[in-house]
Amino acid sequence: MREGDIIHWIQNIAIFLIFTAFVGIILPNDKFKGYINLCLGLVLILMILKPLSDFLNTGISTENLFQDTQQSVNVSNQDAYSQMKRNMLQQSLNQQAEAQLSGICADNGFELVTAQVQANTDYTSLQAINITVRKNSAGSRPFIYIEPSSSDETPEIKSLKNTLSEVYNMSLDNIHITETE
């Protein structure tokens, strides 16, 4: 590694750190700051490791890291890879849906306790939502699970169900809400 390359490397890191600070300043709230810092931190690690990997001749490069990994999976592991990919997609979907459902429930006066969603085969839309909620209250009470029948739904639960139906463009029959005390 030449002296000019080291100076260029340090300049790139300095510019990236200034960019990172600027991004941190312009974010309107702290909601996504952690995610953005994680992504920017990973990019910074790659920037630092690139010259070191060249020096050690390990062959690590951003091109290799971001290539389609499906090409390197052999045929005997294709089913295992597909299952792992489906599990990761389902887990990601559950996390994103839980964050959205939590906000929707809060807007309707409920606290989200648990959430489970089912998507279609290509994960482009939801097919079913199963959530457990409890009413927001000043005092805390122990969890007692109550599964009301569909005819015993409170007006608040019906309103929440209608909101979820509109937001996710789903049939009311595919949305199941259990209320706890």
E strands within the chain?
A: 110-119, 126-135, 145-146, 175-180
Q: Please give the pLDDT value at position 92.
A: 79
* Same domain, yes or no: 90 and 37: no
What is the domain extent for residue 143?
Answer: 79-180
Of the residues 21, 38, 67, the one at which a domain ends: 67
User: How many domains does the structure of the chain reveal?
Assistant: 2
Q: What is the tens place of the pLDDT at every residue in 89-139?
A: 888 777 888 888 888 888 888 888 888 888 887 777 778 888 888 887 654
Taking the C-alpha atoms of residue 40 and residue 53, their distance in angstroms, rounded to an integer, is: 20
Taking the C-alpha atoms of residue 14 and residue 78, their distance in angstroms, rounded to an integer, is: 42
Whether residue 162 is predicted with pLDDT greater than 80 in this model: the reply is: yes
* Same domain, yes or no: 97 and 170: yes
* Same domain, yes or no: 57 and 89: no
In a domain, 10, yes or no: yes
Q: What is the tens place of the pLDDT at every residue in 37-84?
A: 888 889 889 888 877 776 666 555 555 555 554 445 444 567 777 788
105 touches 132 (CB < 8 A): no
In a domain, 72, yes or no: no
**pLDDT band of 15, cuts 50, 70, 90:** very high
